[in-house]
Structure 1
Amino acid sequence: MQETAQQILDVAQDLVRCRGYSAFSYADISKQVGIRKASIHYHFPSKEALGKELVKRYRTTFQQKLKAIEQSESDPRQQLQQFVGLYRSGLSERQMCLCGMLSAEIEVLPDSIQEEVRAFLSVVQNWLTSVLTAGEVAGCLQPRVAPATEASLSLATVQGAQLIARTAANSLATFDGIAQPLLASLCIDH
């Protein structure tokens, strides 16, 4: 039973990352998972319940990736590079950051999902702020503004780069053309 719930979440995540929250239904999930809509309702009584759980799971997974970056790399420049790589990697499947997609629809999302999206963005901005602060202290990163503001600018840049790259013929090159100057402007070579 838990396996079915995970399949539902996996399919819903792919649908939201490709289409957005408003552009998928339980019928879409039913078709892809091969179960009846009633079975989806058993696990997630409403689309809101599904969406809320989806964002919570995405935030947890993303936090684990950020923690893995911290554990594998002590250089803040490399941490920042790997962070950008998280956003770059979804483009190979023509997918956006789940919460980036949901942010575009924030006004039509149920309050509980809005709260989860805001929580995700807060986690990412706090992590970026700590990396930028550590890099500034170590003398290897040079934020152009206060680290917290730079974190917001950096997040907006990589999410915006995904949007622009998604429409380009060569999405990875387009993404890199936006993200690499961001990294170059922040990193101090030693």
Structure 2
Amino acid sequence: MNDIAEAIMNAAERRIRDAGYNGFSFREIAADVGVKSSSVHYHFPTKERLAAAVARRYTERFQAAVIAECEAGADTAEAWKRVFRRTIVEDGQTCLCGALGAAARDLPQEVAVEVKRFFTSGIEMLTDGGIERGNAIKLFATLEGAMLVANTLGDTGAFDEAMAAAR
């Protein structure tokens, strides 16, 4: 992927995390990147393709971070907690797929598929790591919910409070 396409995806990711799928336009992305709107369309012919590509990339990066935590010695649940925590506390961002997932029924099919993949593959990674499916879903929901509460309150410490209460 070239630098312009990467910059377009970065700008789209920031806007999606801030305002959801409907919170950006190609014109805004072009202005963010410093290119013409036609350049955004050249790399991503539709808004659906751009958002799907951003969600796919996010899933891959997130899962790579979880795998790195496991390889560093964390158990599966702790690895997921660390990556979610780093996202909200250290990076000051919400989960991209969580933000999109809140409106999953209203997303275009191509985007909804990628968002669903984040959730289903995450649950599969947790179960593959030895966590019973019901507990994996509970942990995933708790992580997403704790992030949502922390973001809404503007208090990243709420994430840690929610995780401590969930034990």
Shorter-chain TM-score above 0.5: yes
CA positional deviation for 1:132: 4.0
1:89-168 paired onto structure 2 within 5 Å: 89-92=86-89, 93-133=91-131, 147-168=132-153
Gaps of 5+ in 2: none
Shift, 1:57, TM fit: 0.9
Gap runs ≥5 in structure 1: 134-146, 186-190
Quote the residue 2:61 is aligned against: 61
- Alpha-carbon deviation of 1:81? 2.5
**Sequence identity percentage:** 31
Displacement of 1:165: 0.7
In structure 2, what is the equivalent of residue 12 of structure 1?
12
Q: Which runs of 4+ in 1 moved over 3 A?
A: none
The whole-number CA distance in structure 2 between the counterparts of 1:85 and 1:13 is 21
Larger Rg: 1
State how many pairs are aligned. Answer: 166
RMSD: 1.6
Partner residue in 2 for 1:173: 157
Q: State the AA in 1 paired with 2:93.
A: Q
The two structures have a TM-score, normalised by structure 1, of 0.81
Task: Classify 1:132/1:181 alpha carbon distance in 2 versus 1 (closer, same or farther; 3 Å).
Answer: farther
**1:85-119 deviations in Å (ceiling 9; x for gaps):** 21122224542111101111111111111111111
SS at match of 1:60: helix
Counterpart in the other structure of 2:78: 81
